[in-house]
Amino acid sequence: MEKLILKKEALLKALKTLERSLKAIQSKKHPDFYEYLRDSVIKRFEYSIDVFWKFLRRYLEDSLKVYLAIISPREVLKKALEVRVISEKEYEVLSDAIKDRNLTSHIYKLWPSLSRNLLWSISKR
């Protein structure tokens, strides 16, 4: 149970850092630093998603005693939906977030238009 508490604290911290980055870029007070802020939002989104699905996995295993044959973000979400920890709407939003997270692997520096779309998608959640 202690590991679950630590994972929850890590998740809350990750979400706070993501929120700060989103506020900074949305304020448009630092146009000269747009690329750095964009990269910050995307990187913080990446690790927030990673911490989230690992927290959810730990919750399913430790608190609900749910067995996961395959441990991947998608499988964890499917199991959470199956045992009604999340709703179908939450499943859809989280699945999209995981897809977006998978897009972030180094491509935001190579394709600026994709990074703008990804940034928009992140900010809408």
Using one digit for the tens of pLDDT, what is the confidence trace for 1-15? 688 899 999 999 999
The pTM assigned to this predicted structure is 0.79
62, pLDDT greater than 70: yes
Domains and their CATH numbers in the chain: 2-123 (1.20.120.330)
pLDDT at 40: 87
Predicted pLDDT at 1 = 67
Contact at 8 Å (CB) between 41 and 25?
Answer: yes
Angle between helices 2-27 and 112-123 (to 10 degrees): 110
Residue 100 banded pLDDT, cuts 50, 70, 90: confident
Q: Is 29 helix (H, G, I), strand (E, B) or coil?
A: coil
- Whether 20 has a pLDDT exceeding 80, the answer reads yes
Tell me the backbone φ, ψ of residue 111, rounded to 5 degrees. -125, 90
Residue 42 is predicted with a pLDDT of 86
Pairwise CA distance, residues 71 & 125, whole Å: 25
Spatial distance between the Cα atoms of 107 and 114, rounded to a whole number of angstroms: 8
Q: Would you tell me how many other CB atoms lie within 10 Å of the CB of residue 69?
A: 6
Check pLDDT > 80 for residue 111: no
Mean pLDDT of the chain: 87
Q: How far apart, in whole angstroms, are the C-alpha atoms of residue 109 and residue 87?
A: 34
